[in-house]
Structure 1
């Protein structure tokens, strides 16, 4: 799970241009955070004097272009990239940080990547020069740059088999604090439910209660006079105090066990939570993390990882996190496309009929007198030879009318009006048709990619083969 944040570095109140850039570079290059500088990588600059080089590049840009900004000028950009704890090594994180910086700047800006390992989550600080290497242009923080960074970051993570954020939030707490708050809240809820379940088994005393909790996988520890509990899979322990929740402190639980107090569980009877549809993003990322073995290699050999990254981005942006929803939306888009296609084809068919009918009506009217004269001449061969072209046109038109079962011919003007209306309807339908076609193509491609990575294609083929075998056996 990698998250990103892009921040421009300005000169600010009470600081010069030089200190603005040097302060942040000194922070990100902190030896205690970067394993004594081992996890610092630079591109087209010397990391030790990057602040001076960035300032020099800015002066070269001004000299080359004559463009001068005011005090709000951006000297560099700070891009932060965080990874989920335990998923990536520091060296691999640094490599991915370099790849993100290189691809986002298209290799046209100098940058340094500093990988910090002082927190539970490994994270990169990427500082790239706002001035391009050719001194002819500067990077401008364009509208939607945050989304562009996230998309590129997701693509790189997927290409390298690492997880991404399913529903990124544009603003909010830092990743570390967000992760910590989630851990506190979720663990306490888990512990309360575990205590409820243990109490249902009627333990004889407090020690028996603790043994039941240990049997459920809960880690019990004692520091001084108080006990702490740690739910399975959690790093931090929660003290058995009132902070765990009303009715869950050690004193309250002891009172319940000796019959002095009645326990009111968080849930009267712990019911299994309704099973939610597993997110497609989670499913796919589990496939990726299943990882680097023979199965992964077979999949990667027959599949384009860049295409999979595009698929993941599409699922995330369109919130298609349930396979059933993806299938329904794909079917709906296909039906919409087929409906519009049928409307356009019907209009085109009728327009062709009108054009042919209009020609026959005009020919019929033009040759009517000739044909009447031919009939009065007793269908003379000589007369036919002299007016054969007109007679054939008239007979062809009459035959077409008979085939259409027309007893009364429409006027040319009414046909022209209908033709114009159909043309307008066709043009109106075409804009929706193109949109529906593109949407259908995208969804069909995305669904096909999901089916392939998840192995749904093989399941469907197996079911098909099984059905055929059953029918042949009958």
Structure 2
């Protein structure tokens, strides 16, 4: 059982965005609450500098889109609390990570921190409001919280946990009525099911059903006792004149549809029985495992994989390739961070150089230093950074160009990252399912052999 809540994080008055991100992520990563960071996982970001990476993505979003609003949301937090004694910290963290991944669809950086300092284990999941490509932001709405709750319940069920029973209110249930436009759509769908010859035949059937047709630049219709005409295109893309013609001709395609190649992981029934699950859960698990292994076999057939040895080889190669690609992304991100710090020191040096020259002319006066402590400290830090750099210093413009180029490299690497990640995930899950299926099959075979042997 898990109770969830989605919280939008805004910038606090009197604090910078970086300070707000740091204070909130620091609380989530508290070592006393997460057993010295043992129960912290992250996606597409470094746990140690997560607030800087979030801030870099936000700045890149502002730079590329030019959009910045007062009261803007800088990040989101998901709080996920579990029933005391129902989950272990490891399982709670795994559920939290899966919830964040499926809720954000892998498009946003996040950290998942599991707090174990209270009786009820709970997750603090903080994800960036800006997506990985730094060109869009997460769009929150009232329905997002409902969707999050349903997703969390679904994942809890998949992990064999209980879910919160919905609140049953007293009194009459609300009455829901179909809209006028939905009535029109239903009428069109009914006519399409009869396979009309062409669009004129469909319009003729609508007229027989009592609709008045208005022809002109935009084809429209009006229903029984209605005052205004409704254009076909206003019913939705699937009901525009072109879409209806294509449906009748059989050439209509749903854009954006992708074949679902994902499959579920097999449930370890014996382990769940040891955890105290009952007969009902065992019965459900067997049906679930049958469906999961069939999906796995279909996936292997599509990939042309005919043996476990071939599957293992492909899974190992995919894992190594994915790790190598991840290392490349981290190298680029590290370079961006390094150049960003150098750019900051160059800006500080240009702002404080004149004051530092006056400080030298004053023969390093203590009084002058106390009056300009911050500027002098920044200038000294910049000089130390220049000495560590050990090369000819680039201009700020050159640094901006190089950082922009690296950001483009990072974007292209992340596009390929998603493909490699999904491919590797599918192969690893298929390998795990096949291994588990072979183990279950071997156990069942051993039991049959034991039963067939005569008792002594």
Same fold (TM over 0.5): no
Q: TM-score when scaled to structure 2?
A: 0.39
Q: Which has the larger radius of gyration?
A: 1
